[in-house]
Amino acid sequence: MREGISLAVVRRLPRYYRFLRELMANDVTKISSKELGVRMGYSASQIRQDFNCFGGFGQQGYGYNVDYLYNEIGKILGVEKKYKAVIVGVGNLGHAIAGHINFEKRGFRLIGLFDIRQDIVGQEVGGKPVMHMDELEAFCRKNKPTVAVLTLPRDEAGAVAKQLIELGIKGLWNFSNGDLELESDEVIIENMHLGDSLMTLCYRITDSIE
């Protein structure tokens, strides 16, 4: 059922999930692919194709039950997984992510933060204690986190990523503005290249205003 789903489809799932939650909040109980398409800016065809990658969630002549579809997509995404996550690098950005992101609602559980700066080690951030990088290895061996959030400088990210993979990390959420040079079959990497996005915005603005 899940074999060979393209990343293009997968990346639309969280957006469907958000829109469906919104519909639920507005007490909408059913929706057709046509109407959802209008709201989301997708074609009705695409929506039906997307959902049918994972099985038939709709009912002919009726449409889709919003609650049911929301829950199914949540299951597909794995929102209930509670994969253990650590944040490595508790500067501005790591701090912000610890406080800002609801890991619990997105399939993860934040279990620890790490930094080298002595002034932040020992503090609580996002309700969790910040530990020293020296403790990372022992912590991972004991607690076996599945993913690591990399919010440290570009120069340090590569070495830490390698270390984490050796410690059994399965996924990296990479905020350092560079590509991690790792074999792609070792680990799943989601890059959040803020700098790239900002430069793309610059291009697109220039393009739009001539």
Partner DNA sequence: TAGATTGTTAATCGATTAACAATC
Query: Which position among 51, 108, 114, 175 is part of the footprint of DNA (CB under 7 A)?
Result: 51
Residue 76 binds which entry of a second copy, DNA, none, CB below 5-8 Å type-dependent: a second copy
Provide φ and ψ at 113, rounded to 5°: -130, 150
Nearest approach in angstroms of CB 201 to DNA is 19
Within 8 A by CB and 6+ apart from 80, the residues are 74, 107
Does residue 32 interact with DNA by CB under 7 A? yes
Angle of the 136-143 helix axis to the 154-166 helix axis, nearest 10: 40
Residue 139 binds which entry of a second copy, DNA, none, CB below 5-8 Å type-dependent: none
Distance between alpha carbon 138 and the CA centroid of its chain, in Å?
A: 26
Q: Is 176 exposed, middle or buried (0-12, 13-18, 19+ CB in 10 A)?
A: buried
The residues pairing with 129 across neighbouring beta strands, listed in sequence order, are 124
Query: Which position among 14, 22, 29, 34 is part of the footprint of DNA (CB under 7 A)?
Result: 34
By C-beta, is 30 or 162 nearer to DNA? 30
Chain residues binding a second copy by CB under 8 A are 2, 5, 10-11, 13-15, 17-18, 41, 76-79, 81, 83, 91-93, 95-97, 99-103, 106-108, 146-147, 170-171, 173, 177-179, 184, 188, 190, 192-209
